[in-house]
Structure 1
Amino acid sequence: MSLDWIYYAISWILLAWHGAWDAIRVPDTAVIGTNWAWILAIVFLVVTVRVILFPVFVKQIKSQRAMQALQPQVKALQEKHKGDRETLQKEMMELYRKEKANPLMGCLPMFLQIPVFLGLFHVLRRLDPANGGKTLYGWTVTQFESASAAKLFTAPIAGKFGSTADELARLGANGTTVKVIAGILVLMMMGTTYLTSRQMILKTGWAEDPQQRMIQKLMLYGIPLSLLISGAIFPIGVIIYWVTNNLFTLGQQQWVLRKFPPPPTATSKPVTSTRNPVQPAKLGGLLGRGKPAPQAPAKPVAPKIAGPKPGAKPANPKKGRPAKRQG
């Protein structure tokens, strides 16, 4: 299957944004060693893609909320089918189907961006001055030459950490500069990738489902570590796209999670204070640095008079009283 339609779409968006920035006179020539019109074109390629995928992002949040609400039921199934993994998986899949929850929905936005990432990777890899006489997916020769000469702090956006000496020579780049800029961007890419996953996990919690938990660990640790190696083959322009996309994700997730906080699970209980109320004597001891607080004298309690026993004669109420005077 040909992917040319992706390459043409990515090229069209890049050229459209570059033309927009050029129209408002954003410098296309190097300022501080940077061609800002092309850098902003890559940044706003991210904005364009994220706006298109925003409905998918909303579905991702809803799916994660649904999965979180099902955690008590998942835990109950794990206790019920402990040691029977096959039955447990069948029961959980039936639960997900019944409740219309998709465990893989959390990864969907990332999967949908893979074609964009690959398309940009392919387009920037073709930005080689040796191909200056050729057009590139609808680019003119002038646009191609302008993009192939675009730099970020004197490092070409088509350069990469693992560029060969011949590639650096064709791009007119200094190998040390390219490695420093690319290395910093790779570290930023790893850090922001980790933070996007950590942000969501801290808000929604670790999943009880082993499959979901494995996916969370892969997103949190596996992908950032893999970028340490794979980042060496990414053009600088692609890493700019990735870092910008991660920063956009961090902001978007923070806004959504703050505006629509995750609902409490069915097992959650309102937090109540379990501390014993502080007695006045203890409170006085705290305020008086260990001295007990003075207590009010106790009121005398009247002794209780026992009633007559069953069958006993009642006491003579006149006994002990003075006799009346005879008139």
Structure 2
Amino acid sequence: MSLDWIYFAISWILLTWHSAWDAIGVPVDAVIGTNFAWILAIVFLVVSVRVILFPVFVKQIKSQRAMQALQPKVKELQEKHKGDRETLQKEMMELYRKEKANPLMGCLPMFLQIPVFLGLFHVLRRLDPFKPEDKKTIYGWTVDQFNSASNAKLFTAPLSGKFGSTAEDLARLGANGTTVKVIAGVLVLVMIATTYLTSRQMILKTGWAEDPQQRMIQRLMLYGIPASLLISGSIFPIGVIIYWVTNNLFTLAQQQWVLRKFPPPVTAKKATAPAATRSPVQPAKAGGLFGRGKAAPAAPVKATAPKVAGPKPGAKPANPKKSRPAKRQG
């Protein structure tokens, strides 16, 4: 299956945003070693993709809420079918089908962005100023646009440069090897950190899943993907890393807004206070249905006379007559 349609779509969005920034007056030539019009074109490629995928993101949040509400039932199934993994999986899949919850929905937005990532990776990898003229005009580019993008830089590091670029590649791009490695290395570290934070932010708010399959996906998102970027990040062009970091920052802001506006449901376990921590006596409030009246007075407590201790076992009973004074005889 040809992926040319993805390359055309990515190129069209990049070129449209670059033309928009150029028309607004953003400098096309490098300022402090940076071509801001092309940097902003990549940033707003992220914005365009996230706006298109926003309905999918809403479905992701709804699915996560449904999964969270099912945690007590999932725990019951785990206790019921402990030791019978096959039956447990069947019962859980039936529960998800019945409740219309999908444990894989949490990864769907990321999976849908993979074609965009691969398309941008392919387009930026083509940015070689020494390519033949006929190779510069594919995917809707003009020769001038291609040459402009080929010479675009971030602090003098070409957007098509990589941490793992060879000396020959750097010479073709007219770039300094140390500068490219420093810029690319810092961006890779920021990419790893923000990737970790996006997963951590969601897990801290929603908690670890009871379902082993869902928990495995959470661990993969939290630890596996950031760890893999430590190696694979060396082959990503700087422009692709800018896309990834921008996407992570957008995700952090979007998740923060959604989690604040629609907080995760409180589970019954958290909502019910332990019996030991409750106050033994709580005065009831009067005032009818809305509870706006004054607190009802507590029931009167009858005063009880103090108990008098009886005589100790074996002691002689006290004779009250002996304690009376003797009568005088007249």
What is the CA deviation profile of residues 268-298 of structure 1, one whole-angstrom value per residue up to 9, with x for unaligned ones? 3244795587xxxxxxxxxxxxxxxxxxxxx
Q: Distance in 1 between matches of 2:200 and 2:148?
A: 39
What is the CA deviation profile of residues 43-66 of structure 1, one whole-angstrom value per residue up to 9, with x for unaligned ones? 000000000000000000000000
User: Cα–Cα, structure 1 residues 258 and 132, in superposed 2: closer, same or farther, change >3 Å?
Assistant: farther
Match of 1:129 in 2: 129
Match of 1:265 in 2: 267
Match of 1:16 in 2: 16
CA shift for structure 1 position 267: 3.6
Superposition TM-score, scaled by structure 2 size: 0.83
Q: How does 1:16-55 map to 2 (within 5 A)?
A: 16-55=16-55
What is the CA deviation profile of residues 140-172 of structure 1, one whole-angstrom value per residue up to 9, with x for unaligned ones? 000000000000000000000010111101111
Q: Distance in 2 between matches of 1:88 and 1:155?
A: 54
Q: Distance in 2 between matches of 1:13 and 1:135?
A: 16
User: Cα–Cα, structure 1 residues 302 and 81, in superposed 2: closer, same or farther, change >3 Å?
Assistant: closer
Paired residue type of 2:12 = W
What is the CA deviation profile of residues 111-149 of structure 1, one whole-angstrom value per residue up to 9, with x for unaligned ones? 000000000000000001121523131100000000000
CA shift for structure 1 position 255: 0.1
What is the CA deviation profile of residues 246-267 of structure 1, one whole-angstrom value per residue up to 9, with x for unaligned ones? 0000000000000000111244
Match of 1:183 in 2: 185
Q: Distance in 2 between matches of 1:29 and 1:272?
A: 66
Contact 1:132 1:141 in 2 (8 A): no
User: Cα–Cα, structure 1 residues 300 and 243, in superposed 2: closer, same or farther, change >3 Å?
Assistant: closer
Match of 1:158 among 160, 171, 180: 160
How many matched pairs?
Answer: 283
Q: Distance in 1 between matches of 2:305 and 2:148?
A: 101
Task: Extract unaligned runs of 5+ from structure 1.
Answer: 278-298, 305-327
Match of 1:210 among 205, 209, 212: 212
User: Cα–Cα, structure 1 residues 241 and 303, in superposed 2: closer, same or farther, change >3 Å?
Assistant: closer
User: Cα–Cα, structure 1 residues 78 and 116, in superposed 2: closer, same or farther, change >3 Å?
Assistant: same
Q: Distance in 1 between matches of 2:89 and 2:271?
A: 29
Q: How does 1:217-232 map to 2 (within 5 A)?
A: 217-232=219-234
Paired residue type of 2:204 = L
Identical positions, percent: 83
Superposition TM-score, scaled by structure 1 size: 0.84
SS class of match (2:138): coil
Contact 1:74 1:209 in 2 (8 A): yes
Match of 1:318 in 2: none
Match of 2:201 in 1: 199
User: Cα–Cα, structure 1 residues 222 and 132, in superposed 2: closer, same or farther, change >3 Å?
Assistant: same
SS class of match (2:25): coil
Match of 1:67 in 2: 67
Q: How does 1:112-127 map to 2 (within 5 A)?
A: 112-127=112-127
User: Cα–Cα, structure 1 residues 155 and 80, in superposed 2: closer, same or farther, change >3 Å?
Assistant: same
Q: Distance in 2 between matches of 1:276 and 1:210?
A: 34
What is the CA deviation profile of residues 164-208 of structure 1, one whole-angstrom value per residue up to 9, with x for unaligned ones? 111101111000000000000000000000000000000110000
Q: Comparing 266-275 with 69-78, which one deviates more in the overlay?
A: 266-275
Contact 1:68 1:207 in 2 (8 A): yes
Q: Distance in 1 between matches of 2:278 and 2:129?
A: 77
SS class of match (1:103): coil
SS class of match (2:104): helix
User: Cα–Cα, structure 1 residues 73 and 30, in superposed 2: closer, same or farther, change >3 Å?
Assistant: same
Q: Distance in 2 between matches of 1:303 and 1:46?
A: 82
User: Cα–Cα, structure 1 residues 72 and 172, in superposed 2: closer, same or farther, change >3 Å?
Assistant: same
CA shift for structure 1 position 300: 10
Paired residue type of 1:215 = I
Paired residue type of 2:270 = S
Contact 1:18 1:41 in 2 (8 A): yes
Match of 1:105 in 2: 105
Match of 2:151 in 1: 149
RMSD between aligned residues: 1.8
Q: Distance in 2 between matches of 1:238 and 1:47?
A: 14
Q: Distance in 2 between matches of 1:95 and 1:221?
A: 28
